[in-house]
Amino acid sequence: MTKRTFSMLFTLVLLLAAFQQALGQELKLNDLEYFETQGANVLVYSNLFTGGFNDEKTAGIELIHHGVRTAQGGAVRLSNTPEQWDLVPAIPTRTVTREANAIEAVLRYEDYDFDSRVVVTAKGKGVEIAVYLDKPFPAELEGAAGFNLEFLPSQYWGKTYLMDGRLNRFPRYVVGNTVTRSNREKIKQYKGYVTSDDRGTGRFVDPLPLETGRTFLLAPEDPERRVKITSHDAEIMLFDGRMLAQNGWYVVRSLLPAGKTGKVLSWIVEPHAIEGWIREPNIGFSQVGYLPSQPKVSVIELDKKDTPLANASLYKMGADGKAAEVFSGNIEPWGDYYKYHYVKFDFTAVTTPGIYYIQYGDFTTNNFIIANTVYDKITDATSDIWIPIHMNHMFVREGYRVWHGEPFKEGYRQAPPNTDHFDLHGQGPTTDTKYEGLELIPGLNVGGFFDAGDFDIETGSNIGVVQNFVQTWEYFKPQRDQTFVSQEQRYVDLHRPDGTPDILQFIEHGAKNLVAQAEIIGHMAQTLSNSVLYNYHHLGDAASITDGLPFNPDLGPYEVAPTGLSSGMKDDMWAFTSRNPGLDLRAATMFAAVSRALKGYNDDLSERALAQSKRLLNEATELLASQPEESRGRRFGAADVGTNLQLYISTGEQQYADKFLELLWPALDRNLSYVILTALHGIPHMDASYKEKLLPYVEQYKEYVEGLEKDNPYGVPIGLGNWAGSGAIVNFGTTICFAHKYFPDIIDASHAFKTTNWLYGCHPYHNYSLVATIGAARPKEVFYGNNRADFSFIPGNVAPGILFRQPDHFENYDDWPFLWGQNEGTIGGNTSYLIFGSAFKNLIK
């Protein structure tokens, strides 16, 4: 080979490499049916608009850009900036055509008998998104039907954009121009609900575009976020969805042309992909820290293109601020789990108390503590802050701050028959009470806990919450008193001890509402909730959700009576009262437990709870017996097993023990991991043969627990549903604690650390603690609480956490609070965490 041919060959090789690199950046349809290049994934209806609460901002055409899901909602939509309750398209068919490198979907709006086809085709470094109409869309959708794609504000605000070369910056906060239009022109919202109060104007707000043009370049300065969108046949508009709703996204939109068929719109969307980009390792560890004696294993999440290192180190901080390496250990491979590769770093050998951090190659974590005290306070923020702030019908103060005034002073009205509801409830064909539709039901505005990020009282959930409190009290007798609660003053003051254990006051507060329901309505309501959608999505002081004045039909809307005692506002909350004997039965068991717990503290409420327990038990048993067998057969979950156990504990009647045992064993056979905790709670109340019969199930459970080590790198039950799985992982931890208590030779206590590890930072996506504050070095900073519009948190909240999106993406936004499936906390979930934390602290004592 001559020198010349060698150099020619060399040049050719270089050229080929460059060509391949360029090709390497081209988006390709992969086996999981999305368009992929390293650093950019375009998903086309992998996730549909079927989440349960309409537009959850987790569906449509989506872009995962250098590891972050930065765009979603790509679809034909009927407004400039769709809100949660705007209509979403059904997607009856989705077709992947490999030869054409294309995915096609039919989008259907049933309400308008309107079909369109969206075809996404790989085109070089981007995709073409085209909309086809086989017949023109209905005339009433002219100016409404358009193709939208939504970008995540927190990933773009402060960055620049260019529209046809004109310079702009994405606004940090929504400031812009809107117009109002006649309600006659408004596209109807879900089931005809309306998300805003038009103050009697008959007009709705419509945002104007921030910019309009043909070539839209997002974030040219940021290679991780740069996206170019061009269209030859349509104007591209940019809107700010936050104009109408704080959870809105930046919306890129083109209107569909009226009267046309065929290919009516096309965009080229090119997400920039950084050449050779490799996602930074996510080094998972407990942000709360570790006990000296406990297992300590960091799970490190790696890009599949990353090369795992051979070892990692632990550094200890000295009092002089200087750090020294104190341990070096091997990196052990675990394997692939969905999108990433996982390795583990075991530093259990390090047992000296101190301040440490992990060094993995060039990556250093924040510090954490090894000490015997790290878990001492894990429930305090939840019990001292989160729970009292969620006490309904009270004024809640903390130092200089008022969390909320006294809500719903006007009380609750009877929900009219045949009423649907937007929060998954409804009133059946009758009221099942002595009240007429819309009549005031006096006395219900007392006690109870806000459900979650919203302010309704979910009766089923509140029953579970009071059970959780009673269980915590009866098992652990926490004497903690950091909260002043006065039912007489309807006043709560945080950090002001009043001589009564807070947990008794929480039991009392929950029971007050539930006893009122039973006494006044005659049975349990389904929910006490909003009657109008525009105040359901309330953000701010709970006392301002309604005007506090009862509705007076003699007054016009927005009118207040001269006495100041009533108003014409139809904003009063409603009680949904369709009778459910299954719920009554659960209430009966809860009331029996309440009556035990409150004896000697509030004897009056204790006796009233017992009276309602007996009455509801009799009535519910009769009602259930008169129901057809098949509808009873369907009720067969852990709740029914647990209800019969609680009934037996409360009444001592053998029939409930028999029913408990009859339901328990088949339930364990069907769903062991879910039902076994209930079975464990039965041990103190059953004879010795019961524990013996349970033994093989506990052995089976041990296999299940060990099998989780092979299921995923974290060894916990990871949920893949539409609501992320912290709740199941908390229950897993609680189950371990109780299983170890009764079967210490079979279930090892150390499994419980898998739950704390996961909750406090050792999980996919990022390594922040999923529990707000609680002594973690790096807790999550934003949650979907009722203060979410402030990008904040309520201390002690447990986020659902790591949400799975099809087909292979786990995420938890910590700069965007508004996705309930990953960032909301519920009163049910947070009181379950109280039990776990109490049981866990007991376990490690």
Nearest distance in Å: CB 404, Ca ion? 16
As measured in angstroms, the least distance from the Cβ of 440 to Ca ion is 10
Cβ proximity of 507 and 594 under 8 Å: yes
Residue from 456, 508, 584, 814 that binds Ca ion (CB under 5 A)?
Answer: 456
Rounded to a whole number of angstroms, the minimum distance from the CB of residue 832 to Ca ion is: 17
Identity at 460, one-letter amino acid code: G
Judge whether 298 and 159 are in contact, CB under 8 Å: no
Closest contact distance (angstroms) between CB of 483 and Ca ion is: 5
Residue number with CB closer to Ca ion (73 or 448): 448
Q: Interface with Ca ion includes 398 (CB under 5 A)?
A: no
Inter-residue contact 758 to 729 (CB < 8 Å): yes
Over the window 817 to 836, marking each residue x when it contacts Ca ion by CB under 5 A and - when it does not, the resulting string is --------------------
Structure tokens at 255: 């209107």
Q: Which is nearer to Ca ion, 406 or 498 (CB)?
A: 498
Of the candidate residues 62, 224, 398, 547, the single one contacting Ca ion (CB under 5 A):
547
Q: Please list every residue from 64 through 93 that binds Ca ion, using CB under 5 A.
A: none
Give 572 or 640: the residue with its C-beta nearer to Ca ion. 572
Closer residue to Ca ion in complex, CB, 449/804: 449
Nearest residue (CB) to Ca ion, 602 versus 767: 602
Nearer to Ca ion, 118 or 542 (CB): 542
Q: Considering the complex, what minimum distance in angstroms separates the CB of residue 455 from Ca ion?
A: 8
Q: How many CA atoms lie within 13 A of 827 on its CB side?
A: 30
> 364 or 500: whose CB is closer to Ca ion?
500
What is the size of the binding site for Ca ion (CB under 5 A)? 15
> Should residue 104 be labelled a site residue for Ca ion when binding is judged by CB under 5 A?
no
Our CB check for Ca ion shows the closer of 301 and 508 to be: 508
Interacting stretch for Ca ion, rule CB under 5 A, among 1-9, 352-360, 392-400, 566-574? 566-574
Closest contact distance (angstroms) between CB of 536 and Ca ion is: 9
CB of 53 or CB of 475, closer to Ca ion: 53
| Cβ-Cβ contacts under 8 Å for 494 (sequence gap 6 or more) | 384, 385, 388, 389, 396, 397, 398, 399, 482, 483
Distances (CA, A) of 156 to 60, 814, 822: 20, 14, 21
Phi/psi-derived region of residue 291, left when phi > 0, alpha when psi is between -120 and 50, beta in every other case = beta
Shortest CB 502 distance to Ca ion, Å:
4
The answer to whether 502 contacts Ca ion (rule: CB under 5 A) is: yes
Distance CA 428, CA 576 (A): 9
Give the contacts of 198 (CB within 8 A, at least 6 positions apart): 183, 204
| Sole window of 95-103, 497-505, 597-605, 648-656 interacting with Ca ion (rule: CB under 5 A) | 497-505
To the nearest whole angstrom, how small is the minimum distance from the Cβ of residue 783 to Ca ion?
16
Instruction: Give the CA distances from residue 579 to residues 89, 279, 425, 583, 585, in Å, rounded to whole numbers and listed in that order.
Output: 34, 53, 12, 8, 11
How far is 831 from 449, CA to CA, in rounded Å?
11
CB of 786 to Ca ion, least distance (A): 11
Q: Which stretch binds Ca ion (CB under 5 A): 122-130, 226-234, 453-461, 832-840?
A: 453-461
Tell me how far, at minimum, the Cβ of 54 lies from Ca ion, in Å: 15
572 binds Ca ion (CB under 5 A): yes
Nearer to Ca ion among residue 471 and residue 483 (C-beta): 483
Q: Per CB under 5 A, which region of 292-300, 326-334, 451-459, 808-816 contacts Ca ion?
A: 451-459
Q: Does 410 bind Ca ion (CB under 5 A)?
A: yes
Separation in Å, CA 99 to CA 23, 29, 43, 407:
18, 10, 18, 60
Q: Which residue is nearest to Ca ion (CB)?
A: 451
Which listed residue (240, 571, 584, 811) binds Ca ion by CB under 5 A? 571
- Residue (547 or 640) nearer to Ca ion, CB: 547
Structure tokens at 80: 């400039």
- Look at residue 722 and give its three-state secondary structure: coil
Q: Looking at 483, 526, 787, 830, which residue binds Ca ion (CB under 5 A)?
A: 483
With contacts defined by CB under 5 A, name the span among 85-93, 247-255, 492-500, 592-600 that binds Ca ion: 492-500
Interatomic CA distance for residues 733 and 756, integer angstroms: 8
Q: Does 546 bind Ca ion (CB under 5 A)?
A: yes
Residue closer to Ca ion by CB (options 301, 398) is 398
Q: Which of 500, 552, 621, 651 binds Ca ion (CB under 5 A)?
A: 500
**Alpha-carbon gap, residue 83 to 249, rounded angstroms:** 10
List all residues 6 or more positions away from 302 whose beta carbon is below 8 Å from its beta carbon. Answer: 279, 281, 308, 340, 341, 342, 343
Taking the complex as a whole, the smallest distance from the CB of residue 425 to Ca ion amounts, in Å, to: 9
Contact 701, 708 (CB under 8 A): no
Buried b / exposed e over 377-394, threshold 16 CB at 10 Å, is ebbbbbbbbbbbbbbbbb
Cβ nearer to Ca ion, comparing 58 with 566: 566
Q: Which is nearer to Ca ion, 66 or 413 (CB)?
A: 413
Question: Residue 755 or residue 826: which is nearer to Ca ion going by CB?
Answer: 826
In 110-222, the DSSP E strands lie at 114-123, 126-133, 146-151, 160-163, 166-169, 178-182, 203-207, 211-213, 215-218
Helix ranges (DSSP H) in 480-532 = 502-516
Using CB under 5 A as the binding rule, whether residue 451 contacts Ca ion is answered as yes
If one asks whether residue 392 binds Ca ion (CB under 5 A), the answer comes out as: no
> Buried (b) or exposed (e) across 635-669, using 16+ Cβ within 10 A?
eebbbbbbbbbbbbbbbeeeebbebbbebbeebbe
Q: How far is the CB of 813 from Ca ion (least distance, A)?
A: 21
3-state secondary structure of 650: helix
Stretch that binds Ca ion, among 136-144, 353-361, 500-508, 705-713 (CB under 5 A): 500-508
Segment contacting Ca ion by CB under 5 A, of 88-96, 568-576, 620-628, 677-685:
568-576
Question: Is residue 454 part of the contact set for Ca ion (CB under 5 A)?
Answer: yes
- Separation of alpha carbons 248 and 152, rounded Å: 9
| Per-residue three-class SS string for 349-413 | CCCCCEEEEEEECCEECCCEEECCCCCCCCCHHHHHHHHHHCECCCEEEECCEEEECCCCCCCEE
Contact between 481 and Ca ion by CB under 5 A: the answer reads yes
Nearer to Ca ion, 330 or 479 (CB): 479
Q: Can residue 461 be called a binding residue for Ca ion (CB under 5 A)? A: no
CB of 388 to Ca ion, least distance (A): 9
Separation of alpha carbons 234 and 314, rounded Å? 57
Check binding of 380 to Ca ion (CB under 5 A).
no
Residues 395 and 388: beta-carbon distance below 8 Å: no
Shortest gap between Cβ of 207 and Ca ion (angstroms)?
28
Whole-number Å distance between alpha carbons of 304 and 385: 41
Would you say 551 or 840 has its CB closer to Ca ion?
551
> Judged by CB, which is closer to Ca ion: 445, or 546?
546
SS3 of residue 671 by DSSP? coil
- Binding to Ca ion, residues 414-443 (CB under 5 A): 423
Closest approach of Cβ 394 to Ca ion, in Å? Answer: 13
33, 380, 498, 808: which one binds Ca ion (CB under 5 A): 498
Residue 451's CB: how many other CB atoms inside 10 A?
A: 23
- Residue 53 token pair: 């609460």
CB of 182 to Ca ion, least distance (A): 27
Cα 175 from Cα 102, distance rounded (Å) = 39
Look up residue 783 and give its two tokens. Answer: 């949650």
Q: Which residues bind Ca ion (CB under 5 A)?
A: 410, 423, 451, 454, 456, 481, 483, 498, 500, 502, 546-547, 549, 571-572
